[in-house]
Amino acid sequence: MSELELLKKITEPVIKWYQENKRELPWRKEKNPYFIWISEIMLQQTRIEAVMQYYQRFLENLPTLSDLAQVEEEKLLKLWEGLGYYNRARNLKKAAQIVQEKYGGQMPKTYEELVKLPGIGEYTAGAIASIAYNEPVPAVDGNVLRVVSRVTRSSKDVLEPKTKKEFTLKLQQIMPKQAGDFNEGLMELGERICLPNGTPNCSHCPVREICLAYQENLTEVLPVRNSKTKRKKEQKTVFLLEWENKIAIRKREEKGLLANLYEFPNVAGNLTKAEIETILKTWNLEAKQIKKQGNCRHIFSHVEWEMVGYRVLVGQNNVAFLWVEKQELLEKYAIPGAFAKFRESLF
């Protein structure tokens, strides 16, 4: 049986399973393309359980596409705080502004129009078009790739872009009329049953009798994932500078990693106390007390930060930094997750 025939056979069981077992999620209550769009962007590389609080907070503050188009960037980034990948939030606003200007505030209704918007790639365009408008287009994410790889017993590396493209083309040829339910069913099956790590829950899978990996006991070795990139490791010393109950922060550069977000002052390397005092002098600061505040590691897609933090009481401020009340760190300024542990240590 060809891969295409196998994939065609799973459409009805997946749709039936999804309709009977789908979770009640806020963006599923109505086919609102704005809600679906926000949820899909948030769910990229983040599990549903972790997204819920962010999604609710975001929609409480920006309930309409018009609100998103007009929001100030600082508020937008604060609402996105904790999700990472802050350019996704910026692209949401850019796309919302285009929709306001070009489409009269109504989300485009076709895949071809959606995929042209900033931050909306092939997967997100497919998800919105199929779920909101039932357009018969695939939405292939990591969960879908895993299910399809196991069903077809594919030995192709799912981390290779060409593998995703090949399976997208195959799914395009077998898309059923209930395209939205089929896409959501594949995604949910991958997240809840056809698990990425450990043993998949095959006894509850609606397509196990069709799945070649299940039949040949290959579920724990598929899909193939051959990562070719190694993360660069960087050491950093983070300064929690305190002056008159205010904490120093600074804005990162406009381009690059964590662009335009706020951070605690930091320098490269794991510094000694003498080196810390030297750095403070270059900032025209005199330390009254230096206390180690712990270690933290943060992993980005291409780099890993190994950080050590120091809480430093200083006798004067430095206008090169922004000195803010501790409560403002929680309510106003978007501090990236890389520095979240150090912020928590201040309270």
Q: Helix, strand, or coil here: 238?
A: strand
Residue 237's φ and ψ, nearest 5 degrees, are: -110, 125
pLDDT of the residue at 47? 83
Give, in order, the Cα–Cα distances in Å from 107 to each of 79, 125, 131, 293, 297: 22, 11, 13, 47, 40
pLDDT range class, residue 228, cuts 50, 70, 90: low
Residue 300: DSSP 8-state: -
- Tens of pLDDT, residue by residue over 47-79, are 888 899 999 999 999 999 999 999 999 999 999
Sorted by sequence, the CB contacts under 8 Å of residue 46 that are 6+ apart come out as 83
pLDDT of the residue at 336? 93
Query: Would you put residue 105 in left (φ > 0), alpha (ψ -120 to 50) or beta?
Result: left
- Tens of pLDDT, residue by residue over 85-102, are 999 999 999 999 999 999
Residue 1: DSSP 8-state: -
Q: What percent of the chain has pLDDT over 90?
A: 88
Question: In the predicted model, is pLDDT for residue 198 greater than 80?
Answer: no
- The mean-pLDDT minimum among 39-48, 63-72, 153-162, 338-347 falls in 39-48
Residue 202: DSSP 8-state: G
Domains of the chain: 3-215 (1.10.340.30), 232-344 (3.90.79.10)
Residue 318, Cβ neighbours under 10 Å: how many?
Answer: 15
Q: How far is Cα of residue 153 from the mean position of the Cα atoms in its chain?
A: 28
Q: Helix, strand, or coil here: 234?
A: strand
Which positions are annotated as active-site residues?
40
Question: In the predicted model, is pLDDT for residue 244 greater than 90?
Answer: yes
- Tens of pLDDT, residue by residue over 89-135, are 999 999 999 999 999 999 999 999 999 999 999 999 999 999 999 99
Which sign, positive or negative, has the C-alpha torsion 67, 72, 78, 81?
positive
Of 272, 292, 273, 284, which is closest to residue 321 (Cα–Cα)? 284
Residue 220's φ and ψ, nearest 5 degrees, are: -90, -5
Q: Per DSSP, which regions of the chain are E strands?
A: 232-243, 246-251, 262-263, 266-268, 287-299, 303-314, 322-325
